[in-house]
Amino acid sequence: MRTTPNKQPTMASIDRLTPMNMKLSALTLAVAVLSGCSFIPTYERPAAPVPASFPGQAADVAAGAALPAWDTVVADARLRDLIALALQNNRDLRVAALNMEQVRAAYQIKRADQFPTLNLAASGNRQPNSSGGISSTYSAGLAMASWELDFFGRVAALKDTALAQFLASEEAKRAAQTSLVAAVANGWLALQADEELLDLTQRTLTTREDSLRLTKLRFDNGVASALDLRQAESLAAAARGSQAQLQRNRALDLNALTLLVGQTPPAALLPTASTSSVAMRAVPEGLPSDLLARRAAIRQAEQALIAANANIGAARAAFFPRIALTASVGSASSELSGLFKDGSWGFTLAPQAVLPIFDAGRNQAGLDSAKVGRDIAVAQYEKAIQTAFREVADALAGRATLGEQLTALQQQANADAERLRLSELRYRGGVASSLDWLDAQRSLFATQQSLTQIQLAQQQNQVALYKALGGGY
């Protein structure tokens, strides 16, 4: 039979066994036990309701790398500075940041509910007594307001709900930042296209006015017909109309960009007709599952789902008793000078338990509402994934076809330019009528306009793809 040798208690072990430490240890254990009780359902992330790969993408494509930050993607220094200015001054982004701070404060309130509130309390009372004198009562001490002992995890569930809501607001801010970066880039590119179209229209107008003067001179000399003259006048008037429309579009695009930036954009940061195309780094396609980690809108929807799931735990805990504790410790005396003297100290401890017996179905309705709220959050989460998948698929489709369209339009523009040159030579040589020459002018102008629009669409498609994949936040 083995025996354990007796050991003399050390000073450290004696300290651990003092009554105060024993009480504190018991209290700590109780809190730990109570906090472990939770009726929150186990959270499981819903399966993504999208195909395993994007349309036209190989099924075995490797997962994409993390997206670079926007300031490393945008090549033009002026656009980078303008985006940075918008991130500082945009009012919608400022509201999103303030909303996040407001939700953070709400979470801190729910977190504080897990701990007791101590107040310094003092009171005095003087009133007539039956003997004709004055009775006085004075008290001072520490008072603990009603503190709910979270036996069934109701307070903890509400805290978890508030935490998930705060994290959702944080993701909402990131989504707002991504949208703002994309909006400023698209607005800047649109303004650049306006400048290029205005430059093209001005050059076309100059050419058509020269043609009009030449045609009028030939008409006056009896070489050209009235039809030729009216055709030249029509083309010149059309160019002036296009110029007026483009000036209006430029003003509107500048107003939209001013709203996004939050102030009048500095002229040095605005694009010109000679501005080079904005280059965007190649964005890895990756898998649809990459969106779960990249896209702030999806992470926001998931946090909202986690909050709704935690809210079910609070609704379930409402069926069980609520135990609250009110306590105070201090001094009381019939004379103000007698406070804090020996014999005046005391304490009160008042636990209270409330068990729902009849509530006309209130708690059950609350639980049903919480479950429906979770189902709604699941649907919204799945919708966020489907929306992101569609936006990425659209951007990839654009990337695959816009390049081919741009190449074809460039070839068409080269052919129309050569056609115009030959038509002008034939017209000036008297071999062909002015109708062929004027029609060639019209065709080249339309092709050049389309070419500028496709270049804009290609650049904005790069922005759309970057935004759809998460935007680097």
> What proportion of the chain, given as a percentage, has pLDDT over 90?
48
Does 32 reside within a domain?
Answer: no
Does 320 reside within a domain?
Answer: yes
Does 88 reside within a domain?
Answer: yes
**How large is the average pLDDT for residues 26-42?**
59
- pLDDT greater than 80 at residue 434: no
**How large is the average pLDDT for residues 372-387?**
95
Question: How far is CA 227 from each of CA 12, 224, 230, 439, 465, rounded to the nearest angstrom?
Answer: 114, 8, 5, 13, 50
Q: Tell me, what's the pLDDT at 89?
A: 93
Per-residue model confidence as pLDDT tens digits over 36-72: 578 899 999 998 888 877 887 655 555 555 678 888 8
217 or 128: which leads in pLDDT: 217
Residue 94 near residue 267, CB atoms below 8 Å: no
Residues in the chain: 473
**How large is the average pLDDT for residues 181-200?**
93
Q: Tell me, what's the pLDDT at 62?
A: 54
Does 225 reside within a domain?
Answer: yes
Per-residue model confidence as pLDDT tens digits over 334-376: 666 666 676 567 778 888 888 888 889 999 999 999 999 999 9
Does 166 reside within a domain?
Answer: yes
Q: Tell me, what's the pLDDT at 27?
A: 41
The parent domain of residue 118 ranges over 63-122+135-468
Among 27-36, 164-173, 368-377, name the one with the lowest average pLDDT: 27-36
Q: Tell me, what's the pLDDT at 218?
A: 84
Does 50 reside within a domain?
Answer: no
- pLDDT greater than 60 at residue 432: yes
Q: Tell me, what's the pLDDT at 36?
A: 52
**How large is the average pLDDT for residues 227-248?**
92
**How large is the average pLDDT for residues 87-108?**
92
Q: Tell me, what's the pLDDT at 64?
A: 57
Does 51 reside within a domain?
Answer: no
- pLDDT greater than 50 at residue 13: no
CATH number assigned to the domain comprising residue 456: 1.20.1600.10
**What's CA 36's distance to the chain center, in Å?**
34
Count of domains observed in the chain: 1
Helix or strand or coil: residue 463? helix
Does 127 reside within a domain?
Answer: no
Per-residue 3-state assignment (H helix, E strand, C coil) for 342-401: CCCEEEEEEEEEECCCCCCCHHHHHHHHHHHHHHHHHHHHHHHHHHHHHHHHHHHHHHHH
Q: Tell me, what's the pLDDT at 5?
A: 39
Among 59-68, 140-149, 285-294, 342-351, name the one with the lowest average pLDDT: 59-68
Among 51-65, 128-142, 211-225, 459-473, name the one with the lowest average pLDDT: 51-65
- Cα–Cα distance, 98 to 464 (Å, whole number): 27
**Model confidence band, residue 23 (pLDDT cutoffs 50, 70, 90):** very low
177 or 113: which leads in pLDDT: 177
